[in-house]
Every structure is written in C-alpha cells, then in structure tokens.
Amino acid sequence: MRQISAQLTRTNTLASTAGDRKEMAQETVTSPNGEEKPKVITPVETTDPETGLPELAKCKDGYKRCPICKVDKLMTQEEIERKKIVDLNNVEVPDTLLQLANANARAPNPPLKRHKDFRHCLPPTEPQWNNKFALFTAGSIEMGAAIQWQTLLVKHLEDLPITICNPRRGTWDPEIQPKKGDPDFYEQVNWELNSLAKVDVIVFFFDCNTSSPITLLELGLWASSGKVIVCCDQRYWKQGNVEMVCERYNIPYVFSFHHLVPALKKFMALKGFDAAKGKCYEFPKEEGRAKSTICAKEDMWWLEFQDTKEEADAKKTRAVKDAEKAAKDKAKAEKEHYKANPAQKAADEARLAEKRKKNAENALMEGRS
C-alpha cells in the first residue's frame, strides 16, 4: 500500500490554463507559488483514469509538493529519473534531513552476524512463520521516495531469531493501478494486511520528507492493538496528529531512528521476547485492553528514549522557531493583560479547568466502551 501511496493523491482542481502552458513554454517557467524557475522540462498533461479530470500535480510535470512547507517545488532531474526506476532496492535516496545521520543510527560496524533463524520476508512471497516472534516494518515508502530505513532496521536486528515482514519489495511496476481489480495491487495489499494481523509488533517510521497517507491509515487501524511502536520526527507534516494518537492509546513513541532501535528492543522484551535465550515466552493477550485510557507518565517507559534538547533544537525549521517566538510573545502579552485584569485571569483558569475535566471524562468513557 505504501509503495503506491504517491499514486493515490488526487485533486479536484482543474489543470492550468492555456496561458499558463504558454508561459511554461518560454525560457523560464513560473512555479505554482509564483517563483521563477529555469525551464528544464516540458509540461505534460495527464488525466485521472477514474474521473477523466486533469491532475494538477501532473499537469505541470516535474513539480512536487513539499509535505513540510506545502510549497510546490521544481523536481530535480535526479528525482524525476528515480520515479522511473522499478528496482527500489538499488535506489539511493539522499537523507537530506539527516534522519539517519546519528552515529547510533548507522549500520553496525562490523556487521552483525546473521542468526541462522532470522527471516527477512518481502512480498509477494508468503512470510515464513517458523519463528516465535515477528514484526512488520510499517512506514514510509512512497514508490522509493522515502529513505531506506527498513534496510537499516534489518541490519540492526538480523542477529536475532525473528521474522521481519518488510512490504518494501525489491521491484515495483509503476504502471500498476491502485485498484482492487489490478491483480498485482490486490496481491500486495493482501500480503500487507495478512502480515499486519499475524505479527507480534508493528514498527511505524514516518519519513518527514514524505506525506505517507497509507502509513497514517495503518496507524489508525492498529493504534488500539497494543502491538505498535512509532518513530515520528517533529518535522513530519502531521506529527501533532500522530503524537496525540500515540498518547491516547499508550503507544511507545520516539522522535528519532537512533532512539527507535533500543526502544524497539525493549518493547520486544516486554512482549516476551528473550534475545539472550533466542526465544519468546508466552505473554497475555491484550483483548481486554482499554481503547483510550491514557497511562500515567511514570508508566511511559519510552520517555527514556526521547531526543535531547540539543537534538530537538537541531531539527527545528525556521517556521517552527518563528512559531515558538510568537507563542512566547503571546504568553508575555497575556501575562501583562492578566496583571492588569486579575478577575478575568481567574475566570479563564476556571473555564480551562472545566474543559480539561470534560476531556478526561470523555477519555475515560471511551476506554470503558
């Protein structure tokens, strides 16, 4: 599903006008946000095969929408060529945002000795379930546009007697239609759904340089399962949504890949996996698990794997820093306002306390349902 997520994006906006196309035929072209760019490609109009309407994302072929700043940017020739490659394993995706740059995130050196019972399973081949513990790498792929985080995770875990189900298959035909009637698409999606249901742990990684709609869909499907762990960078465009879902359903959550690996190993141990003895003990199923009961902070063991202040500050974009400054200025203005109007401060605090009380009651009721 994630491999064809780029094909799922549709728009109800009509294509560029004839005047726009004429402008693009000149020596320079104007991007959708009004920025002048050198002419490097010829605009190609395409239509949605289902609706017959023009697709804005492809009418000005070569433009991509940045998932972080929402600005349409001109694609490089390298990115255009990468989309034509179907051998995804040989696609070297540059880690422009340094999500895997930390020394603890890199592949072990020397490489770990692969365990004789370790299994790395790719679609369409049926996974080998001979091991007592299995995990699924659910996260960004987007037709090879996402960084190769799955391969790196495998290198960190290949010394364990486990099965890893990785949906990022080696090759993918870009002509496959994301429709149930397409046999290849049907096979891929079924492989993922079946594997997700059978594994003991589902590892989510959100590449903050992608939109990853299918990853969001799958997180929603499995959020209350008790077998999910999430890594989502602060720069991911829907990071706030992801973090709040994880908080509501007590999902272990980290911000960086180099924290994900040790957090995952601890999560596996809590699930009954004994790495030293190479086996998995039986552990109680979580069928009676409350759906939305937020646990106490002292029970959130994953907080020990959070980014340091320095790591978090290094990731902040200018927009984030501007937003933080605006928030501080607003807080300062409110403080001065309340100093002059103490009665209003008391009234506002009472309303906020009542709102928090209702939110807590709603969460408790949902947990009992």
Question: pLDDT tens-digit profile of 237-275?
Answer: 999 999 999 999 999 999 999 999 999 999 999 998 987
Does residue 159 surpass a pLDDT of 50?
Answer: yes
Q: Give residue-wise pLDDT tens across range 38-65.
A: 544 444 445 545 444 444 433 334 444 4
Q: State the Cα angle at 287 between 285 and 293, rounded to 5°.
A: 110
Question: What is the mean pLDDT of the segment spanning 287-314?
Answer: 73
Alpha helices in the chain (DSSP H): 5-8, 18-24, 56-59, 77-82, 149-157, 183-198, 213-222, 239-248, 257-270, 309-315, 318-340, 342-368
Residue 176 binned pLDDT confidence (cut-offs 50, 70, 90): confident
Question: What is the mean pLDDT of the segment spanning 217-228?
Answer: 96
Question: What is the mean pLDDT of the segment spanning 324-350?
Answer: 85
With CA atoms as reference, report the closest residue to 239 among 268, 263, 219. 219
Lowest mean pLDDT among 48-57, 101-110, 131-140, 337-346: 48-57
Share of the chain above pLDDT 90, in %: 36
Mean pLDDT of the chain: 76
Lowest mean pLDDT among 27-31, 74-78, 129-133, 336-340: 27-31
Does residue 141 surpass a pLDDT of 70?
Answer: yes
Query: How far is 176 from 244, CA to CA, in rounded Å?
Result: 35
Share of the chain above pLDDT 70, in %: 66
Question: What class has domain 88-307?
Answer: alpha beta
CA distances for 87 relative to 92, 141, 280, angstroms: 11, 13, 35
Residue 30 binned pLDDT confidence (cut-offs 50, 70, 90): low
Residue 327 binned pLDDT confidence (cut-offs 50, 70, 90): confident
Q: Identify which has the larger pLDDT, 327 or 258.
A: 258
- Domain boundaries, given as residue ranges, for the chain: 2-82, 88-307, 317-368
Q: Give residue-wise pLDDT tens across range 184-194.
A: 999 999 999 99
